[in-house]
Amino acid sequence: MIPAPFDYHRPSDLKGVLALLQEHGDEARVIAGGHSLIPMMKLRMAEVPHLIDLQSIDSLKGISIAGTKVTIGALVTQHDIIDHPELGRVAPILKETSLQIADPQVRYMGTVGGNVANGDPGNDMPGLMQCLDATIHLIGPNGTREVAARDYYEAAYMTARDDGEVLTAISFDAPAGGYAYEKQKRKIGDYATAAAAVTIQKAGGKVASASIAMTNLSDTPVWSEAAGAALEGTTCDAAAIKAAVAAMLDDIDPTEDNRGPVAFKRHVAGIILTRAITRAWDRA
């Protein structure tokens, strides 16, 4: 389990990071918590002749909250999220999701930026960020730009980020109302067999709006607009939930792997989404 040799860089500001990315092109990659990248390097599935450590870039750290506007720096860890009472009040779905990622040691290291940037369909944050309609902030040699989380994922490990760009932060407007992140895994610490992020706003006893995204059921996260729409205007009764599940099943495209065959994953996806909607509605 020894990775190929590399040169290590620890720049102290973003300018330094961008310059190194420019200089080394394909040969360079950033490392945040390393808990996706190091396992890949150990397996020699990733070779990184120039490893650029982000740990000293203070501008990527910290959570800022202004009313319902939340901005999370790329280097904020899953542990930081769990440990942030104000974020827990404003956007509790982040804590609920983080608590279902990996184990305590991994959560101390794994960052939100790495989780979102990585592009592994098994990561839990991308689906959550699509559910929240979050914005991903990038910086590159030509300045900064923003990409909607719902437009960010192209295929497994392929995202809208160019190689010379760094993800600096993720921002979103925290929704009021009910929420749930529900995840089925084979054992604690495992990636999802299926997971669902749901938010629901209630008005006059009915669903005013709903947002639904699924994890690890396609080669990208899946925000199912149709599934959310199926709940709107209903009392979130059994028939409405069934319609939302049917709409979601039309949007996902799971493949068989060691978490089970396609039929099983579709079955689990339906159950997980039903539970997530039920819990979000109860909290709405």
Ligand X SMILES: Cc1cc2nc3c(=O)[nH]c(=O)nc-3n(C[C@H](O)[C@H](O)[C@H](O)COP(=O)(O)OP(=O)(O)OC[C@H]3O[C@@H](n4cnc5c(N)ncnc54)[C@H](O)[C@@H]3O)c2cc1C
Binding residues vs ligand X (CB under 6 A):
29-37, 39, 54, 74, 101-102, 106, 109-111, 113-115, 117-118, 123-125, 166-167, 189, 191
Q: For residue 29, what is the enclosing H or E element? A: strand 28-31
Stretch near other proteins under the rule CB under 8 A, chosen from 35-43, 219-227, 233-241, 250-258? 35-43
User: Which of other proteins, ligand X, none is residue 123 near (CB under 5 to 8 Å by kind)?
Assistant: ligand X
Residues 6+ apart with CB under 8 A from 25: 163, 164
Torsion over CA: 32, 38, 44, 48 (sign): positive
- CB nearer to other proteins: pick between 55 and 201: 55
User: Which of ligand X, other proteins, none is residue 108 near (CB under 5 to 8 Å by kind)?
Assistant: other proteins
Contact with other proteins (CB under 8 A) among 28, 60, 78, 79: 79
User: Which of ligand X, other proteins, none is residue 114 near (CB under 5 to 8 Å by kind)?
Assistant: ligand X
Stretch near other proteins under the rule CB under 8 A, chosen from 39-47, 113-121, 211-219, 256-264? 39-47
- Residue 238 interacts with other proteins (CB under 8 A)? no
Pair 142, 166: CB distance under 8 Å: no
**Shortest spacing between CB 38 and ligand X, in angstroms:** 6
* Residue 188 CB coordination number (10 Å): 8
- Residue 6 interacts with other proteins (CB under 8 A)? yes
User: Which of ligand X, other proteins, none is residue 113 near (CB under 5 to 8 Å by kind)?
Assistant: ligand X
C-alpha distances in angstroms, 7 versus 24, 39, 124?
Answer: 11, 18, 31
Tokens of 232: 């709107």
SS3 label, residue 178:
strand
Pair 198, 162: CB distance under 8 Å: no
Residues 3 and 226: their CA atoms lie apart, in Å, by 44
- Residue 202 interacts with other proteins (CB under 8 A)? no
Contact with other proteins (CB under 8 A) among 106, 147, 160, 226: 106
Residues 111 and 164: their CA atoms lie apart, in Å, by 20
Tokens of 43: 């397996």
**Shortest spacing between CB 177 and ligand X, in angstroms:** 24
Residues in the site for other proteins, rule: CB under 8 A? 1-8, 10, 31, 34-35, 38-39, 41-42, 51, 53, 55, 79, 102-106, 108-109, 188-189
